[in-house]
Amino acid sequence: MKIRNYNIYFNTHTISGIIICAILYVIFFAGSFSFFKDEISAWQKNRSAYTHPAAANDYDFLLDSLHTAHNLMGRDLTFYIQDNDVQAYVNMGASQDTTVKKKAAAQPPRNNTYFQYDFQRKQPASYAESYDMGEFLYRLHFLAQLNQVPIRIGTPFGYLVAGIVSFLFLFALITGLLLHWDKIVSNFFTFRPWNKWKTVWTDMHTALGVIGFPFQLMYAVTGVVLIINTVLILPFSKFLYDGDSQKLYTELGYNDGTTYEYRYQPLPGRIALNPYLKQVADRWPDSHLSRIYVKNYGDESMHIAIEATPNFSSNFAGVGKIVFHPATQSIVYEKSPVGSASYVDHVKALVYRLHFGDFGGYPVKVTFFVLGIMGCLVIISGILIWLVARDKKNIPAHKRKFNFWAANVFLAICLTMLPVTALTFIAIKLHPAADQAFIYRVYFYSWLALSVVYVARRNLRVTNRETLLVGGLLALCIPVVNGVVTGNWLWNAQRTGAMDIFLVDFLWLAIGVVSLIACYRIRLDGKNTEKPKQKATVEREPVAFR
């Protein structure tokens, strides 16, 4: 490779990597746990989705309750059904009936028009009340919490930061591959885990980087598409849809913006959804309901649109949609989720299913989780390599000091995520009424406190060792705390078929064991590398590994 090309690749890879490393670590760490979003939700609430089949969901009871509380006549309702079939987000629009509008305007609102409904307990809850650890980690992996920062730039601040990081991550991946291209085979097979730590970090960064490259590249590309898709969509809506972005989103299948003329002719009898859902289940047995749209509730013009996605075992791509007209008891539109996928369906499925890893069950989720954690190790090793490469006598003292403090801050922020996440899992189990505010307080305050402590201590080896030790011990405590509080020990969860609860406990048990083994390995290596005091002429150990 030419020296000029090597320098370009090296500098681009180093600069782009060090700029985004801390934020990218947060995205990868939280994103790895996001593969088990529904499982974490079931674990926190101690209600397994495996003990509640989708057929048990009573939408008629929910409709009757909403109609009693809100008078649904003429409203548009949308049900966003979660993958676990236990919860659904419900959104109620304004009524098309002018008489209902006048009565509603004269009365104060009694309940939220957007909330989550739990079919197991048959109870509604606001978004903040139903907020759980699975939702928190899922949203943290694309920095949604940063949207609350009062920076007005025309787009949510957190999403913009996540999009920029994903874009820079592409540069770091491609230039890293080009940088090692000439020796990619030899470097891949060179891993010396029992050598000194500088060598271990270098080998780890190269070997794990090569192993995880396809996975990381896939996530960089799909992340860019999912986070900054508004940048790609808005120009099309402006020039091809006369600025009507909702129409474009409807044609892409993100919502149903279809409207029907309100006729002021009430339907006789009780409005029921369950019979229509039963028809869909009979027609498409290998599918999963995703959304239900009720247009002009209770009027002769009412339409019920039901969307479903195929199970990954029957079809990778595709979205089914069927529209019923209750007044005539007819089907006005039907598109099967199997065998009728359009180009848009294939593209959306490719992006979404690859990014969320929901196409192969637990084997794929566990594999993606391990690859995500490997990405975290690549980031940490890259920070340490960057620091050691710049801890040389020919580098001015002020630059070396800046480099050390940058690495010190980055590592403190990144490595404390493990004990903080484990601590929050224990806190929400000990405090069953944990809501959004509680999770925010526990997670962010403890994260800030631990980060400040380890930044102030200025010892990277101690930061690495102690975060592994504390994180490992807390991780081992999670299954124990869950068993003591709920009585649902690992063996009980496995025996009763609550595999989602069992998986979360087992995952933390494995994380705890691996963390303690790594901590012991670091401590043992530190003892073996201790040297007796020698003359000052002996070259000092790099500051990164003191």
Taking alpha carbons only, the member of 119, 42, 129 closest to residue 86 is 119
Packing angle of the helix pair 197-211, 361-389 (nearest 10 deg): 140
Residues of the chain where predicted confidence (pLDDT) is lower than 50: 111, 529-546
Q: What pLDDT sits at residue 121?
A: 86
Q: What is the dihedral of CA 209, 213, 218, 219, to 10 degrees?
A: 0
Token digits of residue 431: 């405090």
Instruction: Work out whether the CA dihedral 288, 291, 297, 301 comes out positive or negative.
Output: negative
Q: What pLDDT sits at residue 474?
A: 97
Packing angle of the helix pair 499-528, 417-430 (nearest 10 deg): 140
Q: What pLDDT sits at residue 107?
A: 58
**Helix (H) or strand (E) run with residue 14 in it:** helix 3-34
CB burial string 305-326: b at 16+ within 10 A, e below: bbbbbbbbeebbbbbbbbbbbb
Token digits of residue 281: 């289940």
* Summary count for the chain: helices (H), strands (E): 21, 8
Whether 531 contacts 540, CB under 8 Å: no
3-state secondary structure 60-117: HHHHHHHHHHHCCCCCCEEEEECCCCCEEEEEECCCCCHHHHHHHHHCCCCCCCEEEE
Could you give the CA distance from residue 539 to residue 288 in angstroms, rounded to a whole number?
64
Question: Residue 152: which residues within 8 A CB-CB, separation 6 or more?
Answer: none
pTM of the model: 0.86
Count of CA atoms in the C-beta half-sphere (13 A) of 284 = 27
Could you give the CA distance from residue 115 to residue 136 in angstroms, rounded to a whole number?
17
Could you give the CA distance from residue 447 to residue 150 in angstroms, rounded to a whole number?
21
Whether 214 contacts 181, CB under 8 Å: no
Whether 205 contacts 192, CB under 8 Å: no
Eight-state DSSP code of residue 540: P
Could you give the CA distance from residue 318 to residue 444 in angstroms, rounded to a whole number?
39
Q: What pLDDT sits at residue 534?
A: 41
Q: What pLDDT sits at residue 85?
A: 84
Q: What pLDDT sits at residue 408?
A: 94
Whether 309 contacts 320, CB under 8 Å: yes
Which residues share a beta bridge with 79? 90, 292
